Structure 1
Amino acid sequence: MAFFVQKFGGTSVGTVDRIEAVADKIVTSRAAGHDIVVVVSAMSGETNRLIGLAEQIQAQPTPRELDVLVSTGEQVTIALLCMALHKRDCPARSFTGAQVRILTDGSHTRARIREIDSIRIKDELGKGSVVVVAGFQGVDENGNITTLGRGGSDTSAVALAAALEADECQIYTDVKGVYTTDPRVVEDARLLRSITFEEMLELASLGAKVLQIRSVEFAGKYKVPLRVLSSFEDDPGTLISLEDDKEMEAPIISGIAFTRDEAKVTVTGVPDVPGVAFQVLGPVSDAGIEVDVIVQNVSADGSTDITFTVKRQDSEQTRALVADIVSRIGAREVTFDKKIAKISLVGVGMRSHAGIASKMFKTLADESINIQIITTSEIKISVVIEEKYLELAVRSLHAAFDLAGDAATL
């Protein structure tokens, strides 16, 4: 007998039939003697529909009212799922984020969880009920409804699992688990049976879409075992947990992450004086634009070049900001390139194995793929290349590091 927090995403509850199927899974888990808390997203497409309605009225909807609107998507799902459970003679009780009192800060549309009052949930579990909680939402100290941002239901589930000291947080989705890379790009990508929090955090931050980054951070901080598995297939999925000594020697590379959603900015002829990097990047950061890779060249003739990447959607705003900066600091010019992609190798095995970078660079060179930027960390190597070579590069690296094959055993 165990205690699980199970989260079902929008695809898993996208239709009434799928909600019925989720109810069957929950009943099966409960019949095995497990205590269950369920966290659900809005039905697939519902959040986008609600945002679309808001934008028909207001081009940039008021954040507080937008939170009030989009939070209703999850409220529909929790009610329907409880009805499906009642039909199966399974006692169940639904709660919104405010009813459970998932307390957040007041940052509408991107709130962060501060604490969770678990009393009501524990009371219902004590009565033998399945507790169904609306993901993605909470309430601030003034009683205002808040939402956690895209993918926030993952964070809701992990936070509840931490607060309730669950044995495992199970994230049900439309894929079997975490793969060595995107199976849509590499057909023989391998399903990983286990991966560390550290590796998963890197993969999520570098473009893997399986889990929201904040949910992995939360799980790692509170040591909540996290499992990603399919709503539609009977498979144990991928367990994400603390690093285990027996795994230290294998594998060297756990996965390849990539993203097309970046633009490269290069400011040339920057005066090489103290504080110049802050003068270039400070206004970009102050505008709320996230800067990813940063490279500054060695000074030549009293000037240097600074290159950095931003999300492609932020490129035009960045262009305007940097154009003003260039004239102010006396730099030569600024160039932009939206046709780039970033590819990253991730694996804790890098700590104890040499030659990973050289093998990566040789593999790309053999395909005549030029590397524009290189960045590294203890368990990651990232390169920026031309976007048109992305899929070729991913397939070549996947083969070079022998990542294909059957799913590994735990």
Structure 2
Amino acid sequence: MLDKRKLSRNKLFVKKFGGTSVGSIERIEVVAEQIAKSAQTGEQQVIVLSAMAGETNRLFALAAQIDPRASARELDMLVSTGEQVTIALMAMALQRRGVRAKSLTGRQVQIHTNSQFGRASIERVDTQYLAALLAEGIVPIVAGFQGIAPNGDVTTLGRGGSDTTAVALAAALQADECQIFTDVPGVFTTDPNIESNARRLEVIGFDVMLEMAKLGAKVLHPDCVEYAQRFKVPLRVLSSFEAGQGTLIQFSDESERTMTSFVQGIAINKALATLTIEGLFTASERYQALLACLARLQIDVEVSTPLKLNEAAPADCVSLMLADAKVDILLQELEALSESLKLGPLIVERQRAKVSLVGKGLQTKNGLLTKMLEVLGNETIHAKLLSTSGSKLSTVIDERDLHKAVRALHHAFELNKV
């Protein structure tokens, strides 16, 4: 059936609408009108919806009132209901417009995951039912963020999981494009709320987009980009609030490969803290024990290199960068394990932000890191940590200097001319 679809003139698009796009009855009506108009042109569509903005947080808060340590299984059962509200309302809105539509949960669509509650991974998607609905001219309205475990339990994919649902469906159905509708008109060179001269990128490669997503760009979830890259799904970011072509994320073509040393964007991540542990080697057993502790607490960290500004700086230390909200949890755990881990002095610095230049082949471009540090130095901004790879150059600064740093770097690397 999928092969026949590929031979037909009607294209198939999987379209995902986020929480702000369906955050009220008025917004649902606007999106329904948009979907209905596309249906009238003969376009085939599979719609994936998030919960209404704020609903998932509300459900988590309800659970916390009952039991702050509620089981992950029951939390998944609870928070998965948010998407069921929006898909049912959207199906009603489309049916009223004469569009044949049907709301579907992850179980009904047969989105199979592993059993890791709260952060499940999609293992396969059965497409028979979806393909049958599309062949009948019915628009499937699918609940994002959820699937079913091997034993039939409801699972959720973690925050941003609706993006991953959409990409997984697009891959399974061999859709022509997966379109992520959000509250911004595309991917920008940096946050336009900070730098008014930020430019929308018409096209960006998967590798650069993935790095930007990992480094704090909120427009797409990293798992979604990774999944699209793995299964070669063309991905487009669009606004549900205004018309436009958005940003297409795809594999780099030959013309882009000739620009491998250029900075393409600046990613930012706020509300961070750094934890520096003196006398710790990354190759030591104590370090491995620390990593095991972090994994058990489900705390994501990035290991960075402290900048040694003077001879008095400790020669051997490890600096961990993590969300500020997780610091107290980690410190309590380390205090309990202090004797067994035999950790040295701990230095905690809060209210930090990470600024990252993102592009391709950045480590191979001579003088790029020096220029970055000089730009910050000219603005009297102290770079505290460094983290580098082939596609990023990151530094940690005081959060109060974030806006000044982004504007200075955006201008220095001429990103307004992209």
Q: Is the shorter-chain TM-score for this pair beyond 0.5, marking a shared fold?
A: yes
Distance in structure 2 (CA, Å) of the matches to 1:286 and 1:114:
23
Distance 1:351 1:304, change over 3 A: closer
Distance in structure 1 (CA, Å) of the matches to 2:76 and 2:400:
38
Distance in structure 2 (CA, Å) of the matches to 1:221 and 1:95:
26
Cα displacement (A) at 1:367: 0.9
Say which is worse superposed, 261-270 or 328-337, in terms of deviation: 328-337
Question: 1:24 maps to which residue?
Answer: 33
Q: Does 1:266 align with 2:287?
A: no
In the TM superposition, what whole-angstrom CA distance separates every residue of 1:220-267 from its partner, at most 9, and x where no partner exists?
110101000000101010000111111223481111011123211112
Distance in structure 1 (CA, Å) of the matches to 2:85 and 2:342:
56
Structure 2 portions without partners, runs of 5+: 1-9
Amino acid at match of 1:294: S
Amino acid at match of 1:168: E
Distance in structure 1 (CA, Å) of the matches to 2:108 and 2:25:
24
Q: Does 1:364 align with 2:379?
A: no
Question: 2:225 maps to which residue?
Answer: 216
Question: 1:99 maps to which residue?
Answer: 108
Q: What secondary structure does 2:409 align onto?
A: helix
Q: Does structure 2 conserve the Cα–Cα contact (< 8 Å) formed by 1:103 and 1:141?
A: yes
Q: Does 1:253 align with 2:276?
A: no
Distance 1:266 1:72, change over 3 A: same
Say which is worse superposed, 35-44 or 355-364, in terms of deviation: 355-364
Distance in structure 1 (CA, Å) of the matches to 2:306 and 2:336:
20
Say which is worse superposed, 104-113 or 176-185, in terms of deviation: 104-113
Aligned alpha-carbon RMSD (Å): 2.4
Which of 273, 277, 280 is equivalent to 2:287? 277
Question: 1:395 maps to which residue?
Answer: 407
Say which is worse superposed, 336-345 or 155-164, in terms of deviation: 336-345
Cα displacement (A) at 1:328: 4.4
Say which is worse superposed, 384-393 or 35-44, in terms of deviation: 384-393
Cα displacement (A) at 1:82: 1.1
Distance in structure 2 (CA, Å) of the matches to 1:65 and 1:331:
37
Amino acid at match of 2:369: A
Distance in structure 1 (CA, Å) of the matches to 2:282 and 2:387:
22
Structure 1 portions without partners, runs of 5+: none
Cα displacement (A) at 1:157: 0.3
TM alignment of 1:257-336, pairs within 5 A: 257-270=267-280, 274-295=284-305, 304-323=316-335, 327-328=339-340, 330-336=342-348
Q: Does 1:193 align with 2:240?
A: no
Distance in structure 2 (CA, Å) of the matches to 1:282 and 1:210:
31
Amino acid at match of 2:204: I
TM-score scaled by length of structure 1: 0.93
Q: Does structure 2 conserve the Cα–Cα contact (< 8 Å) formed by 1:248 and 1:349?
A: no
Distance in structure 1 (CA, Å) of the matches to 2:142 and 2:383:
46
In the TM superposition, what whole-angstrom CA distance separates every residue of 1:169-207 from its partner, at most 9, and x where no partner exists?
000011101111111111121111111111111111101
Q: Does structure 2 conserve the Cα–Cα contact (< 8 Å) formed by 1:182 and 1:189?
A: yes
Q: Does structure 1 conserve the Cα–Cα contact (< 8 Å) formed by 2:84 and 2:105?
A: yes
Q: Does structure 1 conserve the Cα–Cα contact (< 8 Å) formed by 2:204 and 2:247?
A: yes
Q: What secondary structure does 2:382 align onto?
A: coil
Which of 225, 230, 234 is equivalent to 1:225? 234
Distance 1:272 1:291, change over 3 A: closer
Which of 165, 177, 191 is equivalent to 1:156? 165
Which of 104, 109, 112 is equivalent to 2:118? 109
In the TM superposition, what whole-angstrom CA distance separates every residue of 1:19-41 from its partner, at most 9, and x where no partner exists?
11111111222223221100001
Distance in structure 2 (CA, Å) of the matches to 1:336 and 1:175:
35
Q: Does 1:11 align with 2:20?
A: yes
Distance in structure 2 (CA, Å) of the matches to 1:312 and 1:35:
44
Kindly tell me the number of residue pairs found equivalent between the two proteins.
406
Question: 1:175 maps to which residue?
Answer: 184
Which of 60, 64, 77 is equivalent to 2:73? 64
Distance in structure 2 (CA, Å) of the matches to 1:123 and 1:15:
31
Distance in structure 2 (CA, Å) of the matches to 1:381 and 1:275:
29
Cα displacement (A) at 1:85: 1.1
Question: 1:338 maps to which residue?
Answer: 350
TM-score scaled by length of structure 2: 0.91
Q: Does 1:33 align with 2:45?
A: no
Amino acid at match of 1:350: L
Which of 393, 396, 411 is equivalent to 1:381? 393
Identity of aligned residues (%): 45
Distance 1:24 1:331, change over 3 A: closer
Q: Does structure 1 conserve the Cα–Cα contact (< 8 Å) formed by 2:282 and 2:318?
A: no
Q: What secondary structure does 2:218 align onto?
A: coil
Q: What secondary structure does 1:254 align onto?
A: strand
Q: What secondary structure does 1:111 align onto?
A: coil
